[in-house]
Amino acid sequence: MLIGFMALAGSGRQRLAGLWLTCASLVFYGWWNPIYVPLLLVSMGANFTLGGMLRRRPSRPLLFAGIAANILLLVYFKYTGFLVQVADQVTGADWVAPQIVLPLAISFYTFQQIAYLSDAHDGAVGEHDFLNYCLFITFFPHLIAGPITHHREMLDQFSNPDNFRPRFDNISVGATLFVLGLFKKVVFADPLGAEAAPVFAAATAGAPMPLLDAWTGALAYTLQLYFDFSGYSDMAIGLGLLFGISLPANFDSPFKAPNIIQFWARWHMTLTRFLTAYIYNPLVLRATRARVAAGKPLPRKGKMSVGTFLTLVAYPTVATLMISGIWHGAGWQFVIFGALHAFYLVVANAWRAYKAHRGWELDSSNPIKHGAAVLTTFLCVVVGSVFFRSSDVPAALNMLSGMVGMQGVQLSPILAKFPMVSEIAAMLGIEVSQPAFFRPTVAAQIALLLLFVWTMPNTQQWLQHYRTALAWRPRPHWLEGVLPGMSWRPSPVYAVVIGVVGFYVLARAMSVAPTEFLYFQF
């Protein structure tokens, strides 16, 4: 794919290079299941045609019809089984949910095309070229699991011939990002998944979840999801750079966030951007207009009544996060996941509004308070991850009850060998026996990875002096001025290091087949 693209782009045949990349991306997509390639083609053709109609003559009924058609397609493939199951539970009609295979990436390309229709109606779509539109939707680095791209940022790049010329810096940075992302997936995420899977399977089966076992599963999965998604985001941006295209940033050390607001600004950033632009902001705008029409004054900065806060902040936040939860999957556990994070965000926004009203510092510069805020936010995320991973709500509640000690505590005999630990266990009446899933080696691995996540720079920070994500400026990192090696440079030393890491990762991936990326299921 890359060689063919470079041959065409290097000879100045930009359109042919774009066509080659589009066709290759469709082959890449069809490798999973060719039967859904026609569905993708029909969806692209219909939305492109409808977008052209909306550009020429904006029509709200036509826009709503297009959005409804996209949503109905998504609902049929993703939610039919869940809706039939709910209807059966309510009516007792003994209905059987049909077995419908979810087309790969349908959630991602549906959101992108809805945004295209909305912007076409609003006059925000400049270019209307079918080949570039197809490449915008099918570009294989982001097609399967994001980032969710915006038509304006991608179409402008596809129209620029300079982006199609092979460049050494793009290739070296792109290859580095790809190798590092694959390393996160194969070396960190997959082993953690192997530890988390049996714990959640036992919770689903109704087995008791002692404290250490429950926390082993919850923390292992939370870190698995972190490194799996972070790794895919790096690989997607790296692959895009190999073809001269910058993808938007999608991951920015979210576990370093001191509050849940910043967490969502750093986690799946393009999804947050889409939900904010096309759901949250319109809801706030509608509520604001209704308030103005009713003759009510707009709130002054730092001054907001409870009713105004509920109308302008809480209700739009709940609606947006509920949609986010349902988007991630069909099941009550995803509904609760969305509701839980909505609750977190409402509380966080209310607390910030109260601090602003009192004139207090919004974000503490005290390292102890900051660390406590980061840890609190992380624990809230872990609780949400339990619902995100569990097969159903009872399994999630089984895990959570174990995490708070309601199903007993088993202390590993290895830990009981330490006199102080043994004495504390005897005082508390803790049973000394081998837990089913907790092992000190796994606990040490989780602790080291958390230390790594909380202290080390991310890949964007390491490569901050070179083009990576689209229009992205990484946050400064405290290690940059301490260790010069914290900033990547194209040099023989780094080339050898990345080459060795890449060889090791590929050898490991071929010896132990890596699992699918977690966001493939969405």
Hey, what's the torsion of the CAs at 414, 420, 422, 428, to 10 degrees? -130
Q: Token pair 């270019």 is at which residue?
A: 127
Alpha carbon distance 328, 322 (integer Å): 10
Alpha carbon distance 30, 37 (integer Å): 6
Q: Which two tokens stand for residue 318?
A: 């709940």
Q: Is 517 exposed, middle or buried (0-12, 13-18, 19+ CB in 10 A)?
A: middle
Q: Where are the alpha helices (DSSP H) in 359-418?
A: 367-389, 393-403, 413-416
DSSP string of 32-54, one letter each residue: T-GGGHHHHHHHHHHHHHHHHHH
| Phi, psi (deg, nearest 5) at residue 472 | -115, 130
Separation in Å, CA 198 to CA 106, 120, 391, 403, 446: 29, 48, 12, 16, 16
Choosing from 328, 357, 370, 465, which is the catalytic residue?
Answer: 328
SS3 145: coil
DSSP string of 296-359, one letter each residue: PPPPPTT---HHHHIIIIIHHHHHHHHHHHHHH-SSHHHHHHHHHHHHHHHHHHHHHHHHHHHT
DSSP strands (E only) in 426-503: 431-432
Contact 58, 123 (CB under 8 A): yes
Q: Within the chain, what is the greatest distance between any pair of CA atoms?
A: 78
CA angle 374, 377, 378 (to 5 degrees): 85
Contact 178, 235 (CB under 8 A): yes
Q: Token pair 């036509």 is at which residue?
A: 62
Q: Which two tokens stand for residue 172?
A: 């070296």
Whether residue 357 lies in the annotated active site: no
Alpha carbon distance 501, 507 (integer Å): 10
Alpha carbon distance 446, 222 (integer Å): 10
Contact 73, 106 (CB under 8 A): yes
How many residues does this entry show for the chain? 522
Contact 395, 214 (CB under 8 A): no
Alpha carbon distance 342, 324 (integer Å): 10
Q: Which two tokens stand for residue 247?
A: 């993808």
Residues catalogued as catalytic: 328
